[in-house]
């Protein structure tokens, strides 16, 4: 059974209406490089000062810090004001697997009983450890461990008073205690494994298991929490540090994260109070040198901070001071990420941002591209050319593409077309660049030039052949050269079987009284939307019965 079903006409319309339906192109400012900034929905807003419950792996702790700085109440942080937790690192309550997240809520809400004899073990004479908290904690007397457990359970119970829960999923390679029947949050201590041979097993969760625990945890929150509950899911980008399976850690980690990402998507599809923030995609799709520390495991502070702020800005609302402090702390990486985010948002704040940080356009080509794109989009093409001037000699296809686009927007068609000379005969596969050059050729209204540039475009980027031939066909049709237009429409259709191209070709054939050919092209055409259906009906009414009807 499919997770989501979408009728064909709605699917086609989704693609047309979605500005993020495609990846973009390296030859233009995009939301993938150097830092990936996936789009996301913001189905609710946070109210200033409200309590927010955070649970999960280390990304949850990062979110807590930013939210606390914005004045929100964070119950998980209040735990560390208790005597039992003074001077301890907040990371000790990280929760990695979906079974462990479920366990904590089940214990907190009284759905399951925490049996101390099963979970609190003596690991050295007179010293005990809770199997569900970080093994980095020193063993302590049993009463200290039980007091901490009671405080953790009470902390989770405060989720019942929070409208918003932010949950970060971490791992699906987890340890199982065969005696208690519970999954553990972390690996057992080596001494524990030695002292209890055969008691523990490493389990690699299936999707059904990982999602089952996640869904049950979410339903517990819904049952015990406020009516207006909203849960925001994320998946931690931090990988398995090591795997205890006999496979490469990269392979094990890919499975682990894929299961959790799929579980998150399923939760969003099935439970209306759940939404998703793509911090995982942002980190793993970004330039590795910008995203990861030298250990290849931990994410750089800059990209974590910027991702957290981007999320909080969207759900809370940001301000100029946030931009300035982020850039002061993070340098070029933060500047580019803020520029990408601000440009997408648009509006007066974007204009003020680029004016205030214009100096970065001379230091960073990535920032300059975002700045120039913003200026082109807001009708300031000449200013965009000024911004790109510092990088004109770089030969960067993205710079050339935007330069060409800005020249075209400024009405400088000949100069836009001359950008092709700057390529120096090099093979450049930038779709954005060749699209801009071809638009410049079309704008000159010179048929010979259009044919010449069409050949260059299709040779450099073959994937653009259907669209390029479609545009060229329209160019010649509008000039009254029906024979050339029909030939070019045919090439476009033969390479994609696009409904739009077929309908335009049939229209032209009808106007030339080539009715049998029009019937042949239309035979078997299935409209993808109401507009295509109306157009097809008009043509078939003109043509009479279809071939074979």
- Residue with token string 């200290």: 144
Taking 80 as the threshold, does the pLDDT of residue 444 lie above it? yes
Mean pLDDT to the nearest integer, 373-398: 86
CB 141 within 8 A of CB 127: yes
User: If you average pLDDT over each of 85-89, 128-132, 217-221, 539-543, which comes out highest?
Assistant: 217-221
Helix, strand, or coil here: 97? strand
State residue 164's pLDDT score. Answer: 95
Q: Model confidence at 500, in pLDDT bands (50, 70, 90)?
A: confident
- Helices vs. strands in the chain: H and E counts, helices first: 26, 9
Taking 70 as the threshold, does the pLDDT of residue 280 lie above it? yes
Q: Which residues on neighbouring strands pair with residue 182, listed in sequence order?
A: 177
In a domain, 262, yes or no: yes
**What is the chain's Cα-based Rg?**
29
Q: Model confidence at 89, in pLDDT bands (50, 70, 90)?
A: confident
Taking 70 as the threshold, does the pLDDT of residue 51 lie above it? yes
CA distance 410 to 385: 9
CA dihedral 533, 539, 543, 545 (to 10 degrees): 0
Q: Among residues 248, 277, 306, which one ends one of the domains?
A: 277
CA distance 463 to 430: 11
CA distance 141 to 125: 9
Average pLDDT, the chain: 87
Q: Which residues on neighbouring strands pair with residue 51, listed in sequence order?
A: 73
State residue 548's pLDDT score. Answer: 46
Q: Which residues on neighbouring strands pair with residue 138, listed in sequence order?
A: none
Q: Model confidence at 319, in pLDDT bands (50, 70, 90)?
A: low
Taking 80 as the threshold, does the pLDDT of residue 395 lie above it? no
Output the CA angle 171-51-37, nearest 5 degrees. 50
- Residue with token string 């949850």: 60
State residue 547's pLDDT score. Answer: 45
Mean pLDDT to the nearest integer, 412-419: 81
Q: Model confidence at 479, in pLDDT bands (50, 70, 90)?
A: very high
State residue 399's pLDDT score. Answer: 85
In a domain, 499, yes or no: yes
Taking 50 as the threshold, does the pLDDT of residue 513 lie above it? yes
Q: Which of the two residues, 548 and 396, has the higher pLDDT score?
A: 396
Percent of residues, the chain, with pLDDT higher than 70? 95
Residue closest to 434 by CA, chosen among 413, 447, 419: 419
Q: How far, in Å, are 26, 27, 92 from residue 430 at the CA level?
A: 7, 5, 48
In a domain, 256, yes or no: yes
What are 287-306's pLDDT values in tens digits?
888 888 888 888 887 788 77
Backbone angles phi, psi at 354, to 5 degrees: -70, -30
Joined together, the tokens standing for residue 143 give 């009463």
Residue 140 is given by DSSP the state B
Q: Model confidence at 345, in pLDDT bands (50, 70, 90)?
A: low
- Judged by phi (left if over 0) then psi (alpha if -120 to 50, else beta), residue 86 lies in beta
Q: Among residues 226, 252, 277, which one ends one of the domains?
A: 277
Mean pLDDT to the nearest integer, 113-141: 91
Q: Which of 147-156, 308-317, 340-349, 499-508 has the lowest mean pLDDT?
A: 340-349
In a domain, 444, yes or no: no
State residue 84's pLDDT score. Answer: 83
CATH at residue 519: 1.25.40.10
In a domain, 424, yes or no: no
In a domain, 462, yes or no: no
State residue 29's pLDDT score. Answer: 60
- Residue with token string 């259907």: 466
CB 361 within 8 A of CB 371: yes
Joined together, the tokens standing for residue 98 give 């979906």
Taking 80 as the threshold, does the pLDDT of residue 197 lie above it? yes
Cβ contacts of 84 within 8 Å, gap of 6 or more? 144, 147, 148, 151
Mean pLDDT to the nearest integer, 467-480: 92
Q: Among residues 233, 255, 277, which one ends one of the domains?
A: 277
- Listed in sequence order, the DSSP H helices in 18-126 are 58-69, 75-78, 98-108, 116-119
In a domain, 95, yes or no: yes
Cβ contacts of 78 within 8 Å, gap of 6 or more? 155, 158
Taking 90 as the threshold, does the pLDDT of residue 281 lie above it? yes
CB 174 within 8 A of CB 97: yes
Neighbours of 451 (CB within 10 A): 15
State residue 179's pLDDT score. Answer: 93
In a domain, 346, yes or no: no
Neighbours of 23 (CB within 10 A): 10
| Domain range for 548 | 475-549
CB 393 within 8 A of CB 426: no
Percent of residues, the chain, with pLDDT higher than 90? 42
Taking 80 as the threshold, does the pLDDT of residue 353 lie above it? yes
This prediction has a pTM of 0.71
Whether residue 34 is preceded by a cis peptide bond, meaning omega within 30 degrees of 0, is yes
CA distance 272 to 510: 50
**Domains of the chain: total:** 2
Helix, strand, or coil here: 293? coil
- Residue with token string 């029909």: 486
Q: How far is CA 243 from the centre of its chain?
A: 26
- Judged by phi (left if over 0) then psi (alpha if -120 to 50, else beta), residue 87 lies in left
What are 12-50's pLDDT values in tens digits?
888 888 878 888 766 566 778 778 888 888 899 888 889
Taking 60 as the threshold, does the pLDDT of residue 157 lie above it? yes
């Amino acid at each position: 059974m499919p997770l989501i079903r979408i009728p064909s006409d709605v699917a086609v319309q989704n693609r047309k209406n979605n500005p993020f339906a495609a990846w973009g192109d390296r030859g233009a400012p995009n939301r993938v490089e150097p830092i990936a900034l996936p789009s996301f929905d913001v189905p609710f807003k946070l109210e200033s000062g409200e309590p927010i419950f955070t649970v999960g792996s280390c990304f949850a702790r990062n979110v807590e810090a930013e939210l606390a700085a914005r004045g929100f109440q964070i119950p998980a942080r209040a735990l560390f004001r208790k005597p039992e937790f003074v001077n301890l690192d907040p990371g000790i309550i990280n929760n990695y697997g979906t079974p462990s997240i479920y366990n904590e809520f089940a214990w907190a809400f009284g759905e399951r009983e925490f049996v101390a004899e099963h979970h609190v073990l003596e690991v050295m004479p007179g010293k005990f450890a809770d199997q569900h908290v970080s093994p980095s904690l020193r063993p302590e007397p049993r009463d200290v461990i039980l007091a901490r457990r009671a405080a953790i359970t009470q902390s989770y119970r405060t989720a019942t008073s929070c409208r918003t829960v932010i949950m970060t999923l971490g791992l699906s390679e987890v340890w199982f205690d065969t005696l208690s029947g519970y999954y553990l949050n972390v690996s057992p201590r080596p001494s524990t494994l030695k002292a209890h041979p055969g008691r523990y097993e490493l389990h690699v969760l299936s999707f059904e298991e990982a999602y089952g625990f996640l869904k049950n945890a979410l339903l517990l929150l819904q049952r015990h929490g406020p009516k207006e509950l909203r849960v925001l899911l994320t998946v931690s980008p931090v990988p398995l540090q090591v795997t205890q399976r006999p496979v490469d850690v990269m392979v094990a980690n890919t499975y682990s994260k894929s299961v959790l990402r799929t579980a998150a998507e399923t939760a969003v599809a099935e439970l209306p109070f759940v939404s998703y923030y793509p911090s995982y995609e942002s980190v793993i799709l970004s330039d590795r040198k910008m995203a990861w520390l030298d250990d290849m495991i931990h994410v750089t502070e800059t990209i974590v901070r910027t991702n957290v702020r981007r999320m909080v800005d969207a759900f809370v609302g940001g301000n100029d001071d946030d931009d300035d402090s982020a850039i002061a702390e993070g340098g070029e990486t933060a500047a580019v990420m803020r520029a990408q985010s601000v440009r997408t948002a648009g509006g007066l704040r974007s204009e003020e941002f680029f004016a205030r940080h214009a100096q970065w356009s001379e230091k960073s080509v990535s920032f300059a591209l975002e700045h120039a794109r913003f200026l082109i989009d807001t009708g300031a093409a000449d200013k965009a050319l000024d911004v790109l001037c510092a990088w004109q000699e770089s030969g960067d296809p993205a710079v050339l593409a935007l330069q060409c686009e800005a020249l075209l927007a400024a009405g400088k068609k000949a100069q836009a077309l001359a950008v092709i000379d700057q390529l120096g005969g090099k093979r450049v596969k930038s779709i954005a660049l060749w699209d801009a050059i071809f638009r410049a050729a079309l704008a000159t209204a010179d048929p010979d030039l259009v044919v010449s540039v069409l050949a260059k475009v299709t040779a450099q980027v073959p994937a653009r052949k259907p669209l390029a031939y479609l545009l060229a066909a329209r160019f010649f049709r509008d000039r009254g050269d029906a024979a050339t237009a029909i030939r070019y429409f045919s090439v476009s259709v033969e390479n994609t079987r696009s409904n739009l191209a077929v309908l335009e070709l049939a229209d032209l054939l009808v106007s030339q009284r080539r009715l049998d050919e029009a019937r042949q092209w239309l035979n078997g055409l299935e409209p993808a939307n109401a507009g295509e259906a109306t157009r097809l009906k008009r043509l078939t009414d003109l043509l009479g019965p279809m071939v074979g009807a």
